[in-house]
Amino acid sequence: MKCHSFNVFFETIANKTRLKILETLQDKPKSVTEICNALKEEQSKISHNLKCLADCHFLDVKKQGKKRIYSLNKETMVPLMKLVSRHVARYCCKDCKARGK
């Protein structure tokens, strides 16, 4: 296992803003402005976080006039999210309820 690459991979996803971006892009590809509106977040914040995600190839970008359209790298993200969903459903929800979280 190459700890550094793995670490970058996970650090990039382990962030609420970036997770929300990934979530909203599951719906369909969007421009920066569209993402900002969807999440009600500031533009520079979104841009900074989009950069991380694109650097790690979680997202692809293409130019369209003045806009940049970001889309999900489904090949990795879809199975990843499925796997995590299963883990979370199995283990975390029960615990959270038990602990009153």
Partner DNA sequence: ACTATATATGAATAGCATTTCATATGAAAT
Partner DNA sequence: ATTTCATATGAAATGCTATTCATATATAGT
Nearer to a copy of itself, 66 or 75 (CB): 75
Minimal distance in Å, beta carbon 33 to a copy of itself?
Answer: 22
Residue 65 beta carbon to DNA: minimum distance, rounded to whole angstroms: 4
Helices (H) and strands (E) in the chain, counts: 6, 3
Rule CB under 7 A: say whether 43 interacts with DNA: yes
Burial (CB count <10 Å: 0-12, 13-18, 19+), residue 50: buried
- When asked if residue 45 is in the footprint of DNA (CB under 7 A), the reply is yes
Cα dist. 62→14, 50, 68 in Å? 25, 13, 6
CB of 17 to DNA, least distance (A): 4
d(CA 53, CA 19) in angstroms, rounded, equals 10
Task: Please give the residue ranges that form the binding site for DNA (CB under 7 A).
Answer: 11, 14-18, 31-33, 41-45, 47-52, 61, 63, 65-68
